[in-house]
Amino acid sequence: MVDQAKLLIRAGNGGNGAISFRREKFIPKGGPDGGDGGKGGSVYIETDPNRNTLDDFAHQQKFEASDGGKGAGKKMSGAKGEDLIIKVPLGTIVTLKPLSTRKIEVENIAVKGMPREQMGRLILKKVPEGYPPESPFDKGEVVIDFDKPGMKLLIAKGGSGGRGNVHFMSARETTPLRAEQGQVGQGFQAELSLKLLADIGLVGLPNAGKSTLLSVLSNARPKVADYEFTTLEPNLGVMKSGENHLVIADFPGLIEGASEGKGLGIKFLKHIERTNVLIHLVAVEDLQGQALKVGDPIRPGLAAPTVWERYQKIRHELKNYGAEIEKKEEIVVLSKIDLVSEEKVKEIVKYFKKKKIDMLPISSGNGRGLEELIFKLSYIH
């Protein structure tokens, strides 16, 4: 999944004004009639709810609107350049950087149909991670969060068309031989970064049952198999509960050290920032006769402490990543309970209860506990 991209965006140049004089039968000196050049096309960025990735920008990084047409005689204006609309998924953060030393004028960025006073809320005043302490505006940069459906922003304004010589006629200059050139359209380098927007995020170690749960709760059909890392990129699904439509994201399995760059997790931890609630899946398996860690002696009957250790590994990675994602509301789920005895399930739930954590046992295979989980999720806003 592509979740970062760099684009070159250029609006169209305005067309040049025309130098022309009216020449008709019986009217040899009809005066100037050069028309104006057409306005260059502008570039917009619009959110598209049908897109989930930035994959479309993997093979195209240059986007240019068309130029305005040249003016002509008989006071004919040049054609207006066609606008260009770049569509991005919800949750895309766009950083605009000027191609020259001139700072970006925020006033040139406008939302179609949105009052100017509301526009200020869309420009991020908070300095994003990785920026120097000064404001992006001090660097001539503008950062915009495309986090709302239907957002359509004018990013690069097309150049105005030049005036034809008809505008320069005066008592002193009855045959003006000058016209204006069209203005150059705005150009920016745009850096796109996607952070998925989801109501619910599924987290857990590899093979914890996240993809299976997503397929049961929603319309998504992710790859499911009995081995680690079957999910290599986030999967999205929509769960319908009454009038609620909740977006669920299944994030690739985290491993110990993911927040430090190990495994697949570091690439997708940033997407968890956008979720409202986390469902933390911890798989229970028949741990009787298994070692607690590789190299440890076999210790029968340690199912509860081992499940607790698995839970703590993910909690540690969430906290270590930063952005306070470990403070999000969390529903702790004990998955795959159909693989062990009822006594073992009760033992684990009781162990977590002593740690002041309520754990919901479920089985995506036989449906046990799913009704209670859906009931809890239905109260998410």
Q: What is the mean pLDDT of the chain?
A: 77
Q: Are residues 164 and 77 in the same domain?
A: yes
Confidence at residue 292, expressed as pLDDT on a 0 to 100 scale: 41
Question: Does pLDDT of 297 surpass 70?
Answer: no
pLDDT band at 120 (very low <50, low <70, confident <90, very high): very low
> Is residue 242 marked as binding?
no
pTM comes to: 0.66
Residue 375 φ then ψ, to 5°? -60, -45
My answer on whether 169 and 273 are in the same domain is no
Q: Is 217 annotated as a binding residue?
A: no
| Angle, CA 339 vertex, CA 256 and CA 249 arms, to 5° | 50
**Residue 62 binned pLDDT confidence (cut-offs 50, 70, 90):** very high
Domain limit, last residue, from 177, 194, 211: 194
289 is in an annotated binding site: no
- 337 with 316, same domain? yes
Where in the sequence is the domain holding 146, given as residue range(s)?
Answer: 1-194
How confident is the model over 179-234, as pLDDT tens digits? 999 999 988 899 998 877 788 888 888 888 888 898 888 865 644 444 344 444 66
Label residue 2 by pLDDT band (50, 70, 90).
low
Q: For residue 338, say whether it is annotated as part of any ligand binding site.
A: yes
> Is 233 found in the same domain as 160?
no
Which of 134, 168, 194 is the endpoint of a domain? 194
Say whether both 178 and 118 belong to one domain: yes
Instruction: Give the 3-state DSSP-derived string for the chain, with helices as H, strands as E and coil as C.
Output: CCCEEEEEEECCCCCCCCCCECCECCECCCCECCCCCCCCCCEEEEECCCCCCCHHHCCCCEEECCCCCCCECCCECCCCCCCEEEEECCCEEEEEEECCCCCCCHHHCEECCCCHHHHCCCECCCCCCCCCCCCHHHHCCEEEEECCCCCEEEEECCCCCCCCHHHHCCCCCCCCCCCCCCCCCCEEEEEEEECCCCCEEEECCCCCCHHHHHHHHCCCCCCCCCCCCCCCCCEEEEEEECCEEEEEEECCCCCCCHHHCCCCHHHHHHHHCCCCEEEEEEECCCCCCCECCCCCCECCCCHHHHHHHHHHHHHHHHHHHCCCHHHCEEEEEEECHHHCCHHHHHHHHHHHHHCCCCEEECCCCCCCCHHHHHHHHCCCC
Structure tokens at 115: 């009052």
pLDDT at 100 over 50: yes
Q: Is 207 among the annotated ligand-binding positions?
A: yes
Rounded average pLDDT over 44-65: 89
- The answer to the question of whether 206 is labelled as a binding residue is yes
- Position 266 confidence tier, pLDDT thresholds 50, 70, 90: low
Mean pLDDT along residues 62-82? 95
Over residues 115-121, the mean pLDDT reads 42
> Does residue 106 surpass a pLDDT of 70?
no
229 known ligand binder: yes
Do residue 182 and residue 267 come from a single domain? Answer: no
CATH number at residue 285: 3.40.50.300
Amino acid at site 252: P
47 is in an annotated binding site: no
Task: Provide the domain count of the chain.
Answer: 2
CATH code of 5's domain: 2.70.210.12
pLDDT at 90 over 80: yes
Residue 47 bridge partners (DSSP): 88
Asked whether residue 193 is marked as a ligand-binding residue, the answer is no
- Closest CA relative to residue 12, chosen from 44, 35, 43: 43
Say if residue 335 carries a ligand binding annotation.
yes
End residue of a domain, out of 138, 169, 194: 194
Q: Is residue 13 located within the same domain as residue 157? A: yes
Q: Would you state the pLDDT for residue 38?
A: 97
Give the pLDDT confidence score for residue 141 in this predicted structure. 73
Percent of the chain residues topping a pLDDT of 90: 33
With CA atoms as reference, report the closest residue to 314 among 376, 269, 276.
269
Is 363 known to sit in a ligand binding site? yes
- The answer to whether 204 is annotated as binding is yes
| Mean pLDDT, residues 85-91 taken together | 91
Is 208 annotated as ligand-binding? yes
Residues 168, 261: one domain? no
Q: Which residue has the higher pLDDT, 210 or 165?
A: 165
Q: Answer yes or no: is 378 a known binding residue.
A: no
Predicted confidence (pLDDT) at residue 26 exceeds the cutoff of 60 = yes
- 181 backbone dihedrals φ, ψ, rounded to 5°: -80, 155
Tens-place pLDDT, residues 122-163: 333 333 343 333 334 345 578 888 888 888 888 888 999 999
